[in-house]
Structure 1
């Protein structure tokens, strides 16, 4: 109930204040686990992605946010779960895999942190590893204009990337890095494709 209500309010604000536009909304699979990956330039990004897609998203969020009492309660109610970015967080990985294997949507920013310049950064291999281990497609999402407070926001949702050749395999670090790079190139293509 809270998720639906907040989503409605934020969507209205984005429409009126930021004149947002969503391209490719139908690319989100209607059922089954999906790993949503996006570029990250603003604190607004999880809200924008969560409101742009029609299915509820469980975001992997930095553990520091869960140390702020009121915010921690709110983001937990909205489905976020903590990840420690300083080390390999097995608990966060297990939680993400559980959501994906139960047919839910997990959101992750593969760059690991916000880009201070707005330019795409090199992706960590965590998102690729989650997709391989859970046998789920990756949905690339490009965010444009979320930085600042007056820019028009554009959300471009790419086609899901299915990787059956890697599912149920022990993908090497090189394969995971190549997949991560492929995903970031698709996000870059979406950003640049006006």
Structure 2
């Protein structure tokens, strides 16, 4: 209930204050586990991504946010779960795999931090590892900004990446790197050559 309310409020906000455009939402599978891998340009990316599709999207959020009064208690109801940044968080990994086993959707920003210039950075391999360990597909996504009032903000979803051939090779560091490189290339293909400033 709270998630649906939050999504409705976000949709209203983006429609009123931005020239919001969604492209390729039909590429999101109607059911089953999905990992959406998206570039990261602003703190508004998670609500933009989450409100752009009909399925509920779960996100990792830095654990410090869960200690913030008022915000912390409602984050889990909004689909967020804590992660300790800067170190391998086995609890967050387990939670990610549990959600995917339940057929849920994860939203992950593989760069790990916001881009300061709008250019796509290097992807960290955690997203690829999580996707390979589950039965999910990866859906590449790209946000084109910047977030300026009454200017265009666009999110584009690409076609799902079938990980079956990669899983057949065995889940190892080489395969994980290969999947991450494929994913980042697919995200890059959704972005304009010269991103707006």
| TM bucket normalised to smaller | over 0.9
Q: Contact conserved, 1:45 with 1:146, CA < 8 A, in 2?
A: no
2:155 counterpart residue number: 155
1:118 counterpart residue number: 118
Gaps of 5+ in 1: none
2:189 counterpart residue number: 189
2:66 counterpart residue number: 66
Aligned-residue offset at 1:66: 1.9
Aligned-residue offset at 1:147: 3.6
Q: Contact conserved, 1:23 with 1:155, CA < 8 A, in 2?
A: yes
Aligned-residue offset at 1:146: 4.5
Question: Are residues 144 and 31 of structure 1, via their aligned partners in 2, closer, same or farther at CA, if it must alter by over 3 Å?
Answer: same
Is 1:52 aligned to residue 91 of structure 2?
A: no
User: How far apart, in 2, do the equivalents of 1:124 and 1:63 lie?
Assistant: 19
Task: Give the total of aligned pairs.
Answer: 194
User: How far apart, in 1, do the equivalents of 2:116 and 2:126 lie?
Assistant: 21
User: How far apart, in 2, do the equivalents of 1:12 and 1:125 lie?
Assistant: 34
Higher alpha-carbon deviation: 172-181 or 125-134: 172-181
Aligned-residue offset at 1:95: 0.3
User: How far apart, in 2, do the equivalents of 1:170 and 1:47 lie?
Assistant: 35
Aligned-residue offset at 1:16: 1.5
Is 1:104 aligned to residue 104 of structure 2?
A: yes
SS in structure 2 opposite 1:186? Answer: helix
2:128 counterpart residue number: 128
Q: Contact conserved, 2:22 with 2:155, CA < 8 A, in 1?
A: yes
Is 1:142 aligned to residue 142 of structure 2?
A: yes
User: How far apart, in 2, do the equivalents of 1:193 and 1:121 lie?
Assistant: 14
Aligned-residue offset at 1:64: 2.4
Gaps of 5+ in 2: none
User: How far apart, in 2, do the equivalents of 1:78 and 1:114 lie?
Assistant: 21
Question: Are residues 64 and 147 of structure 1, via their aligned partners in 2, closer, same or farther at CA, if it must alter by over 3 Å?
Answer: farther
User: How far apart, in 2, do the equivalents of 1:44 and 1:16 lie?
Assistant: 15
User: How far apart, in 2, do the equivalents of 1:146 and 1:106 lie?
Assistant: 24
Query: Taking structure 1 as the reference length, what is the TM-score of the superposition?
Result: 0.94
Aligned-residue offset at 1:149: 4.3
Aligned-residue offset at 1:193: 7.6
1:6 counterpart residue number: 6
Q: Contact conserved, 1:132 with 1:168, CA < 8 A, in 2?
A: no
Please give the root-mean-square deviation of Cα atoms over the aligned residues, in Å: 1.7
1:114-142 Cα shifts (integer Å, max 9, x gaps): 11221111000000000100021001110
